[in-house]
């Protein structure tokens, strides 16, 4: 019976979440393609064997496929769903068909279609945040300890999961992001922390400990840290805001998430953050299940908005195969006025695919290690 509950709490919400985000992303490509007159041959949620399909009046085959870990939007003239190469028979298309085929479009049109996927992910996140701000009011990520790392200073001093941090060195802490700021400013690496545990207010005074962080070259660097992680839920302040204000806050939140994500990626590349934080679909499924099991629908929607921003941003990275790789190629074609050599593009796409597969394997390994540690620690 427990396995059935785990499917309900972990698998089902994850598939719903992923399905929505993939649909939004691919629908962005679809809408702009239709708008600029490019024929969409297929629109699929999932990969692999076709489970259901329907072809509309404009010749687009809408599909639901067996492997629900992604999707694609394929255009007329493409040899594959990623639009990396042209169909070998594209030259045999009629002149009328070539006007609607992707390979024969002006680079500006191709660029618009490619950017639409990440763009729709961003707009979807703005819409979700705006809806939350307008209907519920402002919300924050509370300064509550979700996990105290065993070797960290906080855990050694006696701070526990669920403790709410009120003050650090006399400075009031309103949200989780404030913690890192005050810890980083702590003189002589000592902290004086007030926490709320149940109805009690407790005070802890202790020195920060150095935690080793891996660098990109394999070496390690030590940083003074508390050694705590946040919870996944949000707190609603129920302060009513107008629709224009909610829209402004929605854009601001998306911008903040983007900056935070880029900062995290930069820290991993420079070794300031451990590469163990890199996670894949298993980690996302785990987090989705934890939120579905222990938190509210509001937390689920906030998590969906966060992932939508991350999906849009990651797809803009200049890696061949991802949308960002296409953006680089079509921008170069737009500037040079001629199409890049097909062999060069093919080699670059193969390199991009190999890099992406390596990252996926690495992320999956991290996920397995993380889950194993979680099972043995519970």
Dihedral sign, Cα of residue 139, residue 143, residue 144, residue 149? positive
344 φ/ψ angles, rounded to the nearest 5 degrees:
-65, -45
The DSSP string of 77-101 is: TBSSTT--SB-TTGGGS-HHHHTT-
Global pTM value? 0.76
**172 Cβ neighbours under 8 A, 6+ residues apart:** 166
**Positions of E strands within 149-257:** 164-168, 171-172, 190-197, 200-207, 209-214, 220-225, 228-230, 235-236
Residue 299: what pLDDT? 80
Maximum Cα interatomic distance, the chain, rounded to a whole number of Å: 77
On whether the CB atoms of residues 46 and 69 are closer than 8 A, the answer is yes
pLDDT band at 286 (very low <50, low <70, confident <90, very high): confident
How far, in Å, are 178, 332, 339 from residue 336 at the CA level? 47, 6, 8
On whether the CB atoms of residues 39 and 29 are closer than 8 A, the answer is no
pLDDT band at 215 (very low <50, low <70, confident <90, very high): very low
pLDDT per residue over 324-378, tens digit each? 999 999 999 999 888 888 788 888 888 888 888 888 887 787 777 766 766 665 5
Residues forming CATH 2.30.42.10 domain(s) in the chain: 143-230
pLDDT per residue over 157-205, tens digit each? 899 988 999 998 888 888 887 887 787 777 677 889 999 998 899 999 9
pLDDT per residue over 80-127, tens digit each? 666 655 555 567 788 888 889 998 899 999 999 999 999 999 999 999
Among the ranges given (18-32, 284-298, 312-326, 330-344), the one the predictor scored with the smallest mean pLDDT:
284-298
By C-alpha distance, which of 91, 115, 118, 94 is closest to 103? 91
Query: Is the pLDDT at 252 greater than 60, yes or no?
Result: yes
Q: Around Cβ 279, how many Cβ atoms within 10 Å?
A: 16
Q: How far apart are CA 263 and CA 29, in angstroms?
A: 28
By C-alpha distance, which of 76, 123, 112 is closest to 254? 123
pLDDT band at 4 (very low <50, low <70, confident <90, very high): low
**271 Cβ neighbours under 8 A, 6+ residues apart:** 213, 214, 215, 216, 217, 219, 220, 221
137 φ/ψ angles, rounded to the nearest 5 degrees:
100, -170
| Active-site residue list | 26
**Quick one: tokens of 139?**
């919300």
Yes or no: domain 143-230 corresponds to CATH 3.30.9.10? no
**Quick one: tokens of 117?**
């996927």
Among the ranges given (22-26, 32-36, 145-149, 271-275), the one the predictor scored with the smallest mean pLDDT:
271-275
């Amino acid at each position: 019976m427990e396995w059935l509950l785990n499917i309900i709490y972990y698998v089902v919400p994850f598939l719903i979440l992923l399905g929505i985000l993939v649909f939004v992303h691919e629908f962005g490509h679809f809408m702009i393609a239709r708008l600029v007159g490019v024929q969409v041959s297929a629109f699929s949620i999932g990969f692999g064997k076709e489970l259901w399909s329907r072809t509309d009046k404009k010749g687009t085959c809408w599909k639901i496929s067996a492997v629900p870990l992604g999707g694609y939007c394929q255009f007329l003239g493409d040899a594959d769903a990623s639009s990396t190469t042209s169909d070998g028979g594209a030259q045999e298309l009629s002149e009328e068909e070539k006007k609607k085929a992707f390979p024969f479009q002006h680079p500006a049109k191709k660029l618009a279609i490619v950017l639409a996927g990440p763009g729709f992910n961003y707009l979807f996140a703005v819409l979700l945040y705006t809806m939350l701000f307008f209907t519920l009011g402002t919300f924050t990520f509370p300064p509550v300890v979700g996990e105290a790392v065993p070797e960290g200073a906080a855990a050694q001093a006696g701070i526990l999961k669920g403790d709410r941090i009120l003050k650090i060195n006399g400075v009031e802490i309103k949200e989780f992001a404030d913690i890192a700021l005050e810890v980083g400013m702590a003189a002589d690496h000592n902290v004086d922390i007030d926490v709320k545990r149940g109805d009690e207010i407790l005070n802890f005074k202790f020195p920060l400990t150095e935690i080793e962080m891996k660098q990109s070259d394999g070496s390690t660097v030590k940083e003074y840290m508390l050694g705590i992680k946040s919870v996944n839920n949000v707190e609603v302040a129920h302060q009513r805001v107008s629709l224009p204000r909610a829209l402004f806050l929605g854009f601001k939140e998306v911008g903040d998430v983007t900056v935070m994500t880029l900062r995290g990626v930069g820290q991993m590349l420079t070794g300031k953050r451990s590469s163990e934080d890199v996670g894949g679909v298993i980690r996302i499924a785990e987090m989705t299940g934890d939120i579905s099991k222990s938190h509210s629908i509001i937390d689920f929607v906030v998590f969906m908005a966060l992932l939508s921003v991350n999906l849009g941003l990651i797809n803009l990275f200049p890696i061949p195969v991802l949308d960002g790789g296409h953006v680089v190629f079509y921008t170069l074609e737009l500037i040079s006025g001629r199409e890049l050599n097909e062999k060069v593009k093919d080699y670059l796409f193969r390199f991009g695919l190999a890099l992406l597969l390596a990252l996926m394997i690495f992320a999956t390994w991290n996920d397995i290690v993380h889950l194993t540690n979680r099972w043995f620690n519970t």
